[in-house]
Amino acid sequence: MSDVVWLIPAFPLAGFLLILLFGRRLGEPLAGYLATAMVAASFVVSVGVYLDLLGMPEDERTHVETLFSWVPVGDLQIDMSFLVDPLSVAMCLFFTGISALIHLYSIGYMHGDPKFSKFFLYLNLFVLSMAMLVLGENMLVTFLGWEGVGTCSYLLISFWHSRESAATAGKKAFLTNRVGDWGVMLAMFLTFSAVGSISWNVLNNNAEGGLLAETTATGIAVLLFVGAVGKSAQLPLYFWLPDAMEGPTPVSALIHAATMVTAGVFLMIRINPVIMASADWVGPMIAWIGAITALFAATIAVAQNDIKKVLAYSTVSQLGYMFLAVGTGAYVAALFHVITHAFFKALLFLGSGSVIHAMNDEQDMRKMGKLAKFLPITAGTFIIGWLAIAGVPPFAGFWSKDEILLFTLADSVPLYIIGLVTAILTGFYMTRQVVMTFFGEQKWESRAEEHGAHGEFKPHESPWTMSTPLVVLALLTIAGGLVQLPSLGIVPDSVQHRLEDWMHLVLPGEAEINGTWALDNQNLLVVVAIVASLVGIMLGWLVYQQRRIRPYEPSVLGNGWYYDATVTRFMGGPGREGFEAVAAFDATVIDGAVNGAGAAVGGAAGGLRKGQTGYVRQYGLVIGIGTVLLLGWFFLRGVL
Amino acid sequence: MAEGRLDGRGPDVIAAIEPTWYLLLAALLFSIGAVGLVIRRNPLVMFMCIELMLNAANITFVALATRLGDINGQTAVFFVMVVAAAEVVVGLGIIVSILRRRPGATADSLAELKG
Amino acid sequence: MDPTFLEYVVFFVAGAMMIGGAIGVLAFSNPVHSALGLVLTLFGVAVQFVAMEAHFLAAVQVIVYAGAIVVLFLFVIMLLGVDTATDLSIEPIKVQRPLAAVMGVALLALLGASIVQARDALVLNPGAGIATVQSTGNHDANIDQIAENLYGDWVFAFELTSVLLIVAVVGTVLLTRKWPKAGSTAGDRT
């Protein structure tokens, strides 16, 4: 089955082409079913490849499938080839699966939209790009996918492009990602010049074997981290993600929660030998940026009123956790959190989409309340997601967050404190969201006109296409922790560390924490984590449900510490002046040089034109003199 | 001096002047023709200078025919004369046409090629 | 064998005629005088042809060149009425005369130098020899040899020259014809 790993991108490619050609004719809902079927087929192939790899002995679980030679230029030999190893298969499994579920959800969510088939066109294109990104055997195939997901993100954020805020958000996302792409491109060039190839295997083998100079490894790692910062919305390039909520909710769920934003983390995990070979400050730098982003975003989420914006900042915060894990060498924990976060965040987003759908496109939480009664399935699944993200056992989020905090404490205490505080805040703002939406006071009117419905307005539960994915994701959220259970006393040996064993082959850079105080006192830490989560939840409950404490939502938090506004003002002000200076330089110097060359030629020609007097006798004289010169030359050369 | 002579000629042939002298003479004639072509403004006189140059070429041909012992040189002169005749006919026709339109024109007044 | 005294005299006199006529073409301000200078040159050339045993060519030279072409020149001069003397002292293009002088001298020098240098060159591919009265005893030797060559090796070129002459004649007639169109032929005199 590993031979046909290329089917994983091929199915969505086929879907893309079919919808491109026949989308309008297929129409709703057939285009949606086609797209879903294609992605589901990819998922099946992923499962097949996984089983295939499982059957191989542990050391041999990498396989390269080359389709064709793509760029054969002298020393640079780049093939279109796919790498099947534990990391890429793990990523493929969860992202094709979740993509399939979200495709199904979109059939219901995008019902009635005039651009229905175009939506699935872009979604399939996205799955194709993500597959290329994850499965790429060399940096160029990965970069192709990287750019592809960025493009799809742009297309899908500004899907309703007649809305100016959506179009602007799309541009913002694309441009910010571009800054990250610059880093990835430079890393590619650096890799090629240092190693002579841009294959991940060659790079990683060189790094492991000590053939990569420390400065080179540092350069590559830092440049790829720049790309990751852009794609995964960390400080300082996170500000596109909250705006990206302008896109339809399935897009937010798929791209900006579960898959695309994890591409940065994936990239870091992929190059863990390079990070290992780089300077000592690279890891801590990644960890600190992740931690500070996590805390920063959590504080902002506390004061958001849009149901999707809370989740957006929550995503930034959780991504911060993943980079914190990467920075401390806990790659397994990072991947684990990627997977569990994909489950519960997708669940939360789809749930919020269900709420928005029920409330006729109302997104302000201050106008919701007491919806649990009317939307039982949505509320139930949303609550499961809430508990997972807050870190309540036995849901998936608890296990992964605990693993990260364990490794963090083993590395540095200040980081651990930041992580813990963020965990409390996470519980707090998520509780706030759940209470404001599903419990609390009913802030919406039953009257019809306000919500554009006929007769009495009553929120209604979503159709089966939307509810089914919610249920499936909830189940996954509950069971997701089984993937990597820690070695606590209560956990039987056979199910411990499944993910770690699976990933062992490709993670030579995994940090070793045997013998640290943290590992010895694991049980204590587990208790601390649970307590932190419950504290957060309790505070949220007290403030928003019981109204015992007054809510404190300063506008500085509501406006995101004015970071976005500062960036906008900079870009509009000094930034714009800088750009205009560059443009002026281009117009005057470069264009001037080109035009000047033309003018010079014209001037010279004008001068030479004076030689054309029109006098035949003069022309004759010139011919004569030319002949004389020619003869003289021949004579001197001895030919005559 | 015997090598300077051509083969195939008997010893009792009229000893001509060395062909080199004829060649020099032709060169002189050619130069005078070239200078004249450039100096004079009257189109007809310019034409005559062209004829001078053609004659210089003819002399060269014949001198070399004598030197190399090849009759083709003299045949070439024949053809040159024929072509010169045709050329004079056409050229004078052109001059007539031009001077009909613009009486008193010289080579300098026909300066439409001025750029 | 050395040339005889007579041959030297013939050479120099004919040469003087040639060069004198040429300078006359240049120097006379009246075009008719220039034409007469041309005739002198052509006669000089004919004499040189005879001295070089090219009798046929000498005859053709006189008949065609001096007899037809120069007459044609004089016809046209008289027809167009440009037989008045022109002022030779003015020259519109300032650099023309000095440069022309330089060109002439340089040309002569280079050509002369080349000719002198090639004086002792070996003849690599000599021809079959020019037939003269002395060598063959035939009084028509020159004509015979030229005729054989012309109608033998070069018969195709010969035919083409006849075509050329017809084309020239027809072309000139067309060129100089006055087309009977109304109004557009301004400046026509007749």
Q: Read off the pLDDT of residues A88-124 as tens digits, 9 standing for 90 and up.
A: 888 899 889 999 999 999 888 888 888 888 899 999 9
Q: Read off the pLDDT of residues A532-542 as tens digits, 9 standing for 90 and up.
A: 888 888 888 88
The single-letter code of the amino acid at A262 is: T
Q: Read off the pLDDT of residues A8-24 as tens digits, 9 standing for 90 and up.
A: 899 999 999 998 998 88
pLDDT of A495: 61
* B-contacting chains (≥3 CB pairs under 8 Å): A, C
| Nearest by CB: B15 against C3, C34, C123 | C3
| Nearest by CB: C110 against A613, A621, A631 | A631
* Domain at C79, CATH number: 1.20.120.1200
Phi, psi values for residue A361, rounded to 5°: 70, 25
Between CA C35 and CA C70 the distance in angstroms is: 7
In this predicted structure, the answer to whether residue C6 has a pLDDT above a threshold of 60 is yes
In this predicted structure, the answer to whether residue B5 has a pLDDT above a threshold of 60 is no
| Nearest by CB: A628 against C93, C96, C110 | C110
Stretch B72-88: mean pLDDT, rounded? 94
Among A448-457, C3-12, C140-149, the least confident range: A448-457
Beta-carbon separation of C100 and A631 below 8 A: no
Q: Is B53 on the interface with C (CB under 8 A)?
A: no
Q: Is B65 on the interface with C (CB under 8 A)?
A: yes
* Bridge partners (DSSP) listed for residue A485: A496
The structure's pTM equals 0.66
pLDDT of A593: 86
Phi, psi values for residue C175, rounded to 5°: -60, -40
- DSSP conformational letter for A197: -
Phi, psi values for residue B106, rounded to 5°: -120, 180
The ipTM value here is 0.87
Helices (H), A513-590: 517-520, 522-540, 555-558, 563-570, 576-585
Task: Say if B87 falls within a structural domain.
Answer: yes
Q: Is B110 on the interface with A (CB under 8 A)?
A: yes
| Nearest by CB: B48 against C25, C115, C130 | C25
Residue of A608, A615, A631 for testing the chain B interface, max B β-carbons within 10 Å = A615
Please say which residue of C66, C86, C106 terminates a domain. C86
pLDDT of A521: 77
Residue in this structure with the two tokens 């791209």, named with its chain if needed? A255
Do C48 and B59 meet the contact criterion of CB atoms below 8 Å apart? Answer: yes
In this predicted structure, the answer to whether residue A180 has a pLDDT above a threshold of 50 is yes
Task: Say if B59 falls within a structural domain.
Answer: yes
- Among residues A315, A184, A298, which one has the least CA distance to residue A244? A315
Between CA A51 and CA A92 the distance in angstroms is: 13
Between CA A89 and CA A83 the distance in angstroms is: 9
Beta-carbon separation of B115 and A621 below 8 A: no
pLDDT, mean over chain A: 85
pLDDT of C108: 95
Task: Say if B78 falls within a structural domain.
Answer: yes
* Shortest distance, CA B11 to any CA of chain A (angstroms): 31
Among A60-64, A556-560, B33-37, C139-143, the least confident range: A556-560
Beta-carbon separation of A617 and B111 below 8 A: no
Between CA A529 and CA A510 the distance in angstroms is: 23
Per DSSP, the three-state class of A81 is: strand
* Bridge partners (DSSP) listed for residue A164: none
Q: Read off the pLDDT of residues A512-523 as tens digits, 9 standing for 90 and up.
A: 776 677 777 778
Q: Closest chain B residue to A608 measured between Cα atoms? A: B115
Per DSSP, the three-state class of C167 is: helix
Task: Say if C168 falls within a structural domain.
Answer: yes
Between CA A161 and CA C105 the distance in angstroms is: 84
Strands A76-84 and A63-73: antiparallel
Beta-carbon separation of C154 and B77 below 8 A: no
Percentage of chain A beyond pLDDT 70 is: 94
Beta-carbon separation of A624 and B34 below 8 A: yes
Task: Say if C161 falls within a structural domain.
Answer: yes
Between CA B42 and CA B51 the distance in angstroms is: 15
Q: Read off the pLDDT of residues A430-468 as tens digits, 9 standing for 90 and up.
A: 988 888 888 877 776 655 445 555 555 677 777 887 888
User: How far is the first Cα of chain B from the last one, in angstroms, to the nearest whole number?
Assistant: 56
Residue A640 contacts by C-beta under 8 Å, 6 or more apart in sequence? A631, A634, C110, C113, C114, C117
Beta-carbon separation of B38 and A615 below 8 A: no
Domain that holds residue B71: 19-103
Between CA A79 and CA A140 the distance in angstroms is: 9
- Among residues B57, B62, B73, which one has the least CA distance to residue C153? B73
* Shortest distance, CA B13 to any CA of chain A (angstroms): 31
* Shortest distance, CA B80 to any CA of chain C (angstroms): 10
Task: Say if C109 falls within a structural domain.
Answer: no
Q: Read off the pLDDT of residues C36-89 as tens digits, 9 standing for 90 and up.
A: 999 999 999 999 999 988 999 999 999 999 999 999 999 998 888 776 666 777
pLDDT of A506: 76
Stretch A265-287: mean pLDDT, rounded? 88
What's CA A7's distance to the chain center, in Å?
23
pLDDT, mean over chain B: 84
pLDDT of C1: 56
Residue in this structure with the two tokens 């030197």, named with its chain if needed? B67
CA distances from A126 to A100, A264, A452 (A): 12, 16, 34
Between CA C92 and CA C81 the distance in angstroms is: 23
Task: Say if C116 falls within a structural domain.
Answer: no
Task: Say if C73 falls within a structural domain.
Answer: yes
* Domain at B66, CATH number: 1.10.287.3510
Task: Say if B12 falls within a structural domain.
Answer: no
pLDDT of C91: 74
Whether C11 and C80 map to the same domain: the answer is yes
Between CA A204 and CA A13 the distance in angstroms is: 30
Task: Say if C189 falls within a structural domain.
Answer: no
Q: Per the structure, how many domains does chain B have?
A: 1
Domain that holds residue C41: 1-86
pLDDT of C119: 82
Task: Say if C97 falls within a structural domain.
Answer: no
Please say which residue of C57, C86, C115 terminates a domain. C86
Do A404 and A318 meet the contact criterion of CB atoms below 8 Å apart? Answer: no
pLDDT band at C22 (very low <50, low <70, confident <90, very high): very high
Percentage of chain A beyond pLDDT 90 is: 21
Beta-carbon separation of B77 and C31 below 8 A: no
* A-contacting chains (≥3 CB pairs under 8 Å): B, C
* Bridge partners (DSSP) listed for residue A81: A66
The single-letter code of the amino acid at A357 is: H
* Rounded (5°) CA angle C185-C187-C189: 100
Per DSSP, the three-state class of A136 is: strand
pLDDT of B10: 36
Whether C73 and C148 map to the same domain: the answer is no
Task: Say if B5 falls within a structural domain.
Answer: no
Q: Per the structure, how many domains does chain C have?
A: 2
Please say which residue of C67, C86, C105 terminates a domain. C86
| Nearest by CB: A617 against B38, B112, B114 | B38
Whether C78 and C150 map to the same domain: the answer is no
Q: Read off the pLDDT of residues B34-76 as tens digits, 9 standing for 90 and up.
A: 999 999 888 899 999 999 999 999 999 999 998 888 899 999 9
Whether C80 and C158 map to the same domain: the answer is no
Beta-carbon separation of B93 and C176 below 8 A: yes
Between CA A292 and CA A273 the distance in angstroms is: 25
Helices (H), chain C: 5-27, 31-51, 55-60, 70-80, 96-117, 133-136, 141-152, 155-176
